[in-house]
Amino acid sequence: MTKPNSSPVPPAKGTRDLYPDQMLRQNYITKLWRDTAIRHGFEEINGPSFEMLELYTRKSGEGIVSELFRFRREGGDDDYALRPEFTPTLARMYAAKAASLPSPTKWFSIGPYFRAEKPQRGRLREFLQLNVDVLGGSDQASDDRDAICVVVDLYRSMGLGPSSLKVVLNDRRLVEKMATSRGLEPEHMQMFLWVMDNTGKKPVEELLKQARATGIGQSQVKIFAELLQDLKAAADHPDKGTFDRLFPDAADETYLFDQNRLFEELGIRDWIANSITIARGLAYYTGTVFEVIAEGERAIAGGGRYDNLIELFGGPPTPAVGFGMGDVVLGLLLDDKGLMPQGKELIDALSQPAASLRPEAFVVAGSEDEDALIEPLLANLRRGIETEGFDGKPWSTDRYTVRPMHARRTYKTTRNLKKLLADAEKQHARFAIVLHGPDKVQVKDLDTREELVHERGDFSVDPQIDAYVGTAIAQRLA
C-alpha cells in the first residue's frame, strides 16, 4: 500500500498567503486608495478577473501571449487569460455604454492581477492594483491634472513627501517629434520607445542588439544610439539652452512645461519633475506619460494618455488618461520609511471613517471670471488642513484641523446657476459652493435649502483665514 505524501504543498511561486496581520496591512493600503479616489470624485467599478485572450492580443499583438497566464476549459474551444492589467477591460466596459456615460467619466478599480514573469523585489505574479482613469473629457490638460492630483494626494495621505518621490512627466508626442527630426522611420518608432523605456533596466548595447534582431537596419539603430545619448544629456542638464542645442528641429517646450504653472496653483509643483527620458513602452500611449520614482525603488506607479484605445474596442473616439499602482512595491516603500502602522495603530487606522461616498462639497463658478478659482479650491478641500506643527504619524486622528473631504465640480458648460445647482443635486452633493470671487463665496446646504452665513461677512477660498469655506462646511458636517 502506497503511503500518502504528507508533506505540505507550497504556495505557487510569485504568490502570497495573507494571514490576518498581512491582510490588515493590505486593507490599510486599499483604504487609502479608495478614500483618496472617492474624494477626487471617482466612482468605483470592477470587471472579471479573466477575459477572452483576444482582448489582450487585439491591443498588444500575439507577442503578449507568452506574458499571460492563459487557459482553455477542458473540452472547450475558447482561449482565456487571467488579466495582467485593467485597461483593456476598462476600454471594453466603456465602449459598451459610451453613449449613456457622463463627460468626463471618472472611474477607479481595485483588484487582483496576474503576470507570468519572473518574481523579484516589488514584483509578483499575483498582486493587487489600483487603477484610476478619466475618459471622454473635453479638456485633456485638465483630465491629465485630475489623474496626477490623485497620485500626489495618495502619497501625501501615506505620509510621503516630494523629498521622497517625484511624479516624473514627459510627452510621447515630443519624443516622436525629436526622433522624426533625426530621421527615424515611423515603422521603427515603437521599437525605439521600447528601447528608451528599458534603458534603466538593461545595458543599452543589449537593447540595441535586440532592436537589430528584429530586422532594423544599422543606420536606424545608429539613430537609436545617438538619440539615447542626447536624451540623457538633455535629462542631465534640463535647461532650455541644452534642449534647443540638441534638438533644434523639435524644440517645443509646450508639451513638457505648460502644466507647471497650473501645478504651482494647485500646490503640488514640488512633487512634479519633467524628464525627456520617460517613455512608458506600451504602444497605446499617445501623449502625456508619467512615472512615480521613489528613492531606492524602480517606478512605483505609472500611466499616461491613451486617446485611441476605446475605438480599438468598438467605442467612439474617446480621449482618456489613467494610471496604475500596485500594492507590493508600495508596501515595501512604506515599510522602509516607517509609514506602515503596526498592531493597535493599524487597527485604529482601519477603524477611522471611510471617505464619504456622498459629495460633501460641489463647486461652481458664478461667472467665467471665477473659473480659475475652482481647481485650487478643490485641491484644498480634498487635502484638508493639517494641524499646525503636526509631526505625528499620518494615520493619527490629530493630523487634521479640517479633514479631507469629497469635493466635486461641474463639467457643464452652461452659466445658468439654476442648472449648475441642479447638477449638484443630481450628484447628491450636501453643500454647493458658488464662487463670486476669492473673498465672496456663497454656500448652500442642499438638504435644508439653507444658506450658510459667516459672522464676519462672506466666505473665502483662502484656507489660511477664519472665513475659509472648507472650515465652515467641516464644522457643519461634524
Q: Can you name the residues that pair with 113 across neighbouring β-strands?
A: 127
Whether 255 shows a pLDDT value over 80: the answer reads no
* 386 SS3 class: strand
| Greater pLDDT, 296 or 374 | 374
Beta-carbon contacts of 442 under 8 Å, excluding residues fewer than 6 positions away, are: 366, 433, 434, 436, 451, 458, 459
Q: For residue 337, which phi and psi values (nearest 5 degrees)?
A: -90, 0
Whether 346 shows a pLDDT value over 70: the answer reads yes
Distance CA 35, CA 355 (A): 5
- What element of type H or E holds 302? strand 299-305
The predicted structure's pLDDT at residue 254: 54
Amino acid in the structure at residue 257 = F
Q: Measuring CA to CA, which residue among 374, 361, 382 is closest to residue 437? A: 374
Distance CA 99, CA 101 (A): 6
CA distances from residue 31 to 28, 35, 158 in whole angstroms, order as listed = 5, 6, 11
**Segments of the chain assigned to CATH 3.40.50.800:** 356-478
Q: Measuring CA to CA, which residue among 28, 24, 83 is closest to residue 55? A: 83
Q: Which of the 8 DSSP states describes residue 352?
A: S
pLDDT category of residue 177 using cuts at 50, 70 and 90? confident
pLDDT in tens, 398-434: 999 999 999 999 999 899 999 999 999 999 999 999 9
198 half-sphere exposure, CB direction, 13 A CA radius:
18
Distance CA 423, CA 411 (A): 9
- 356-478 classified as CATH 3.40.50.800: yes
- DSSP H helical segments within 237-370, as ranges? 240-246, 254-257, 260-265, 309-312, 327-336, 343-351
Q: Can you name the residues that pair with 112 across neighbouring β-strands?
A: 128
Whether 62 shows a pLDDT value over 60: the answer reads no
Whether 240 shows a pLDDT value over 80: the answer reads no
The predicted structure's pLDDT at residue 63: 52
Cβ contact 313:58 at 8 Å: yes
Look at the block and give the residue holding cell 518574481: 119
pLDDT category of residue 365 using cuts at 50, 70 and 90? very high
The predicted structure's pLDDT at residue 60: 61
Output the nine-digit C-alpha cell for 203: 545595458
Cβ contact 306:286 at 8 Å: yes
* 409 SS3 class: strand
Express as a percent the part of the chain with pLDDT over 70: 93
Q: How many residues does the chain have?
A: 478
pLDDT category of residue 275 using cuts at 50, 70 and 90? confident
Distance CA 322, CA 306 (A): 8
* 379 SS3 class: helix
The predicted structure's pLDDT at residue 336: 93
Whether 39 shows a pLDDT value over 90: the answer reads yes
Dihedral of alpha carbons 174, 175, 178, 183, sign: negative
Whether 244 shows a pLDDT value over 90: the answer reads no
Dihedral of alpha carbons 129, 135, 141, 145, sign: negative
Contacts 24+ apart (CB under 8 A), 283-288: 283/59, 283/60, 283/190, 284/59, 284/87, 284/308, 284/309, 284/312, 285/172, 286/172, 286/173, 287/140, 287/171, 287/172, 287/173, 287/255, 288/144, 288/169, 288/170, 288/171, 288/172, 288/321
Whether 165 shows a pLDDT value over 90: the answer reads yes
Cβ contact 261:251 at 8 Å: no
Class of domain 20-355: alpha beta
* 113 SS3 class: strand
Average pLDDT over residues 122-129: 92
The region of weakest confidence among 6-15, 46-55, 237-246, 358-367 is: 237-246
pTM beyond 0.85: yes
The predicted structure's pLDDT at residue 251: 56
Whether 474 shows a pLDDT value over 70: the answer reads yes
Amino acid in the structure at residue 467 = A
- DSSP H helical segments within 248-342, as ranges? 254-257, 260-265, 309-312, 327-336
**Segments of the chain assigned to CATH 3.30.930.10:** 20-355
